[in-house]
Structure 1
């Protein structure tokens, strides 16, 4: 019975990735192990599930017939594993949160201090990433997301913010764009020539020069050292060490962007997750809406 389950779980992962290499990584097994499990399953049920070439895998007609049920099994297995991991009701132990760099380098140092005071027995693990990290796959308890959510997760809105133009030099307010260097987070801009604001589209070619960086800490450091002006989330001005930044060009701001905390659906909700969630919602709301 256990061997059959392992074969089916392996098949499910290969259905999801269509890659023996990727399935092996998720299972933390060798590619030979994955191939062997697939072969054992095909022998046991008496049918071929994949067409194999040296470069790709393709599901056969019989494989396609099993695909939806296999992916359901994979999802159920991950949920069961996550619930088993979070079954403890004591407000202690590990708690993992993934956050974007803009929050990590601005308001989160203030928030983590309050979290540790409120929950002294919890060991917090913080993953700073601008990627949408898979919470179940990586056993992450909670994610803070900016502007995006997932239908697979519980999401609580914690506030709104705007992208605003800031400088460390108040006199930049009176300068023309052609005399300023724009320092911009490439993760937020996605390389676009135009940046949306409420009243207009900002053509980045209007500026004397443009510097792209891939995370907020470097962007803020360059702005604070007077190397240019930058488009940053409005909550950045609430963070530690940002007192020397000033908002300029009030017309250069985006439409409101929503921020959320998210976590996998569970019932009943573990006490630790419920407590940290309630506290974080209040903390983030305070900084997000501090205009």
Structure 2
């Protein structure tokens, strides 16, 4: 049996990441013809087509999509092996691609990265902020922060702590419309919903004794970013369920009031998520170790 065509696998991973032969060629500092030949060589060896090619678009076939994770892992482990060989002679260096939720990234991650980059001048970070859940393998992301209870998957996840959610509105809103005594009461309120949930119109709650409740809600505002709800909340226009890192300051200042404190409004885990595989470049491991320490402290301080 011949050895695997490791170069072609790495080129395939680069094309998946950059979504074009030309962009992959630029990233790898090779010609477009070299990229095209590597993909054709790999397709011939595997006996399958990896991409649908048109004059305007390049998309993965079903076979290509199934093999993309393997390609990314092969490239990442090759990079990690090379970095390990040079690690003792030099400080970690290179680009780390990172993804995080928008508001959390601005409030907490930005200041931490400033500290990290000051200590590690050889490392560069490409940070993408969005509340949408992205495919970190297809997007070529090295590490992502996710605030959720994660389903089983091939991704590697490290739970760093809990992020508590609160049921909040302006005191003036509750003075006018009444304070709910049970989650079921929320069905009669103007509720702001978060679009990135699987079922935004159903809120679920749990009490310490094990009692559970779910309520269908509706209201005048739905958005894919929780911080965007704050002006309408402060104006007394409705109720929302939001994580503490968005509303804690408003609660402390009296601009918002939390209710139903005996009910959990869906505490989620704060996770660092990485692609499959056990080997990672030193620059990625260095960032993960730093963020694990700082974000664990952040979660502990919040409780």
Q: TM-score range by the shorter chain?
A: 0.5 to 0.7
The 8 Å contact of residues 227 and 246 in structure 2, kept in 1 or not, is answered as: no
Residue number among 230, 233, 243 corresponding to 1:220 in the alignment: 230
* Two-structure CA RMSD over aligned residues (Å): 4.9
CA pair 53-250 structure 1, distance change in 2 beyond 3 A? closer
Partner of 2:74: 76
Partner of 1:112: 110
- Relative to the length of structure 1, the TM-score reads 0.65
Superposed, which structure 2 residues align to 1:1-291 within 5 Å?
A: 24=21, 27=24, 49=48, 72=70, 75-81=73-79, 90=91, 94-104=95-105, 107-108=107-108, 111-117=109-115, 119-122=117-120, 123-135=124-136, 137-146=138-147, 147-148=149-150, 151-169=153-171, 172=174, 174-175=178-179, 177=186, 180-188=189-197, 190-198=198-206, 199-205=212-218, 209-238=219-248, 243=253, 244-251=255-262, 253-264=264-275, 265-267=277-279, 270=282, 272-289=283-300, 290-291=302-303
Partner of 1:19: none
CA pair 28-233 structure 1, distance change in 2 beyond 3 A? farther
Measure, in 2, the Cα distance between the counterparts of 1:68 and 1:137.
11
Gaps of 5+ in 1: 17-21
CA pair 240-71 structure 1, distance change in 2 beyond 3 A? same
CA pair 32-158 structure 1, distance change in 2 beyond 3 A? same
Measure, in 1, the Cα distance between the counterparts of 2:169 and 2:161.
24
How far 1:72 sits from its partner (Å)?
A: 4.2
Measure, in 1, the Cα distance between the counterparts of 2:248 and 2:77.
37
The 8 Å contact of residues 173 and 236 in structure 2, kept in 1 or not, is answered as: no
CA pair 6-120 structure 1, distance change in 2 beyond 3 A? closer
- Relative to the length of structure 2, the TM-score reads 0.63
Q: 1:157 is paired with a residue of what secondary structure?
A: strand
How far 1:273 sits from its partner (Å)?
A: 3.6
The 8 Å contact of residues 8 and 70 in structure 1, kept in 2 or not, is answered as: no
Deviation sequence 1:9-39 (CA, Å, 0-9, x none)? 778999x9xxxxx67588469x999888777
Gaps of 5+ in 2: 27-31, 181-185, 207-211
